[in-house]
Amino acid sequence: MPDTIRYPWSEPPEQGKAIEVAVGVLWMRLPLPMALDHVNVYALDDGNGWTIIDTGFNSRKTREIWGDLLARPLAGKPVTRVIGTHHHPDHIGLAGWFQEAGAELAMPRTAWLMARMLTLDNQPTYPSEIIEFYKRAGMADDTLAKRRMDRPFNFADCVHRMPLGFTRLQEGGTIKMGGRTWTIRMGNGHAPEHATFWSEDDNLVIGGDQLLPSISPNIGVYPTEPNADPLAEWLEACTRLMPFAQADHLVLGGHKLPFTGLPKRMQQLIENHHGALKRLLIHIDEPRRAGDCFKILFKREIGEKNYGLALVEALAHLNHLHQKGQATRELRNGAYWFQAA
């Protein structure tokens, strides 16, 4: 197996501009107001219009950038279809905006249901169930006290209203985009039913957040399903997709740079979590909460900006050990304590 991951482009496209990564396929980048400060989006030329892969947040700034993109690199040709790879707001924030302008929306069913449900769930304060979830995960007392006072993040803050009606993308199906036929293969773990696209005509793969270079996507447990084991789903998806990966595939991911060397990268994505689980199992020789496991899992200090993501990912790893029978779980003083079995 080739052991080299290569980046054909060393720099991303400038704001409002595009790089043609293959015939009829444009790579663009939109800013995000968080630690991971960008999302990649793609436009595929369908002749009479464009198919857009993912959209960025719904914000005035992002809509203005899209205006520049539509007028210049997309040359005024209409967006006739929007593909949402998964339900996260940086990927479907403007899906409804494009729909209202006449575009078709195509997504996996679970992704669409999650996105629509979360945009309708608009909370002015943290519900008691979410506070309870944070307590049970072992959130630090000062952080929990601040959460009680803060207005929560709502999907509707950065996701445009999603009209009724979409086209379902399914595992094993095909779709025509950019003069190519693509096989749809579903990932999982980072987001339920995450669509990836594998060209049958050349070496292109559209990976969303399932196939990323240099960073691992967040694998988290959330209040909607507090006993979930998304890490098992992630490892299963990686193992299932691995046989399709080829060293010369040009992977167009949702973040960072397009890359080749997918077999090696998928091996890394699997081994990264197996290594984390081994370290964690040693760490919970004594009882620990999810909030006590950051340094051993992430090998660095976790600041306020990344605290929430770190907490849900630590809980995902502990839930996995618990459900595999490698750890016990006991509810004490309102928090779950995990210990190696």
pLDDT at residue 182, rounded to an integer: 98
14 is written with which tokens? 């400038």
**Structural domains in the chain, sorted by start:** 19-122+154-278 (3.60.15.10)
Q: Are the C-beta atoms of 86 and 191 separated by less than 8 Å?
A: yes
pLDDT at residue 2, rounded to an integer: 53
Tell me: the pLDDT tens digits for 132-177? 999 999 999 999 999 999 999 999 999 999 999 999 999 999 999 9
Burial class, 122, CB count within 10 angstroms (exposed 0-12 / middle 13-18 / buried 19+): exposed
- In the predicted model, residues of the chain with pLDDT beneath 50 are 1
Return d(Cα 76, Cα 92) in angstroms, integer.
22
Read off the pTM: 0.97
Q: Which residues contact 57 (CB under 8 A, 6 or more apart)?
A: 30, 32, 33, 89, 90, 93, 94, 158, 159
Return d(Cα 232, Cα 209) in angstroms, integer.
17
Tell me: the pLDDT tens digits for 40-86? 999 999 999 999 999 999 999 999 999 999 999 999 999 999 999 99
pLDDT at residue 3, rounded to an integer: 72
Return d(Cα 332, Cα 25) in angstroms, integer.
54
Residue written as tokens 């992430």?
298
Beta strand ranges found along 95-236 (DSSP E): 104-108, 167-169, 174-177, 180-187, 194-199, 204-208
pLDDT at residue 113, rounded to an integer: 97
pLDDT at residue 1, rounded to an integer: 45
